Amino acid sequence: MINLRDLTIKELKGFCEEIGEKPFRAKQIFSWIYKGAESFDEMTDLSKALREKLKEHAYIGKLDIIRVQHSKTDGTRKYLLGLEDGNMIESVFMKYKYGNSICVSSQAGCRMGCKFCASGLDGLKRDLTPGEIAGQILTIEKDTGEKINHIVVMGTGEPFDNYANLKKFLINVNDKEGLNLSMRNITVSTCGLIPRIQDFSKEMKQVNLAISLHSADSETRESMMPVNRSYPVDDLLAACREYTEETGRRITFEYALVKGKTDTKEQIDLLASKLKGMLCHVNLIPLNEVKETGLAGSNRKRAAEIAAYLETRGIPATVRRELGADIDAACGQLRLGEQEKNK
């Protein structure tokens, strides 16, 4: 049985032909899937015979809502969602002045092992399929009754470690018959897999790119992010410069402020000198405390000082707004909590 949520419209045309149906049916089915249909019986403009035939060959994979945490202060909702095989993932729904945004996961678990992140503590379980990535949006739109206008692929997992499925997901949400979301309203965040950054700059030019940088000093970065061993920070920053030249797009650097480690004057000076002249923006993140990681975050006052200093060095910088501060806001915390409960 094939999960139709995993297919692009082109693949769906092939599927229709395989089961002896006209390819134009693909458009109808695809558009129902992205309207949130979870069964073929909801596809009322298809004949009963076709709906029965679809049931014989395919299904529409759904995600189960296991738990939701609601922020009382800003409308943020954090979802723990169950996959068909029992794995769990997290997605966060956030309200901004400019619209609704969702942070989706791209893998169940992660193998990148960043020290400040709870998502990687248990390693990688598996890649998410394109339908499971999109399913987070469809499930949450249905639950909230609200339209999502912006997507960030910044939840659990390294999206570029699941590149082929990520690309299909992006194609599907961008499709006119899909969610019809502009690529410019989507941001993908990577810890720095250089070959995929190069592919992305050619294949997905319109999508925004964010890099989890967190330190411009190779030794410091490596102590927090093992990926720096394979892709050292100077090579990464060179690839980022090439990306901005190739696409003409501004790159965002995510920078977690770890007290006494990445927020020192030396670290920030090094950051400013290495980013000099690059088409970029720095997003400073006062780190949420994750008790399993033992790292402490700088406070918002220090974060604001650093942002102001970077501006004086010609680097645009902002401090990330704290959303859902009253719920487990750091990625991976909800899933870990559930696993602890089940032990």
What whole-number distance in Å separates Cα of residue 52 and Cα of residue 33?
16
Residue 322's H or E segment, with its range, is none
Q: Residue 6 or 158: which CB sits closer to ligand SF4? A: 158
Are 105 and 90 in contact by the 8 Å Cβ rule? The answer is yes
Question: Closest Cα partner for 149 from 187, 204, 201?
Answer: 187
What whole-number distance in Å separates Cα of residue 319 and Cα of residue 300?
8
Q: Which residues bind ligand SF4 (CB under 6 A)?
A: 110, 112-114, 117, 119-120, 156-158, 191, 212
Phi/psi for 259 (5° steps) reads: -55, 125
Q: Residue 76 or 212: which CB sits closer to ligand SF4? A: 212
Catalytic residue among 16, 38, 90, 117: 90
Q: Residue 38 or 127: which CB sits closer to ligand SF4? A: 127
Measured from the Cβ of residue 73, the count of other Cβ atoms closer than 10 Å reads 12
Smallest distance from ligand SF4 to CB 157, Å: 6
Smallest distance from ligand SF4 to CB 117, Å: 3
Catalytic residue among 103, 191, 240, 331: 331
SS3 content of the chain, % helix, strand, coil (to 5): 40, 20, 35
Question: Closest Cα partner for 161 from 120, 202, 217, 131?
Answer: 120
What whole-number distance in Å separates Cα of residue 91 and Cα of residue 125?
17
Smallest distance from ligand SF4 to CB 166, Å: 13
Token duo for residue 339: 């696993």
Smallest distance from ligand SF4 to CB 339, Å: 16
Q: Residue 95 or 126: which CB sits closer to ligand SF4? A: 126
Q: Residue 54 or 121: which CB sits closer to ligand SF4? A: 121
- The CA R_g of the chain, rounded to the nearest whole Å, is 21
Smallest distance from ligand SF4 to CB 107, Å: 8
90 flagged as catalytic: yes
Residues labelled as active-site residues? 90, 331
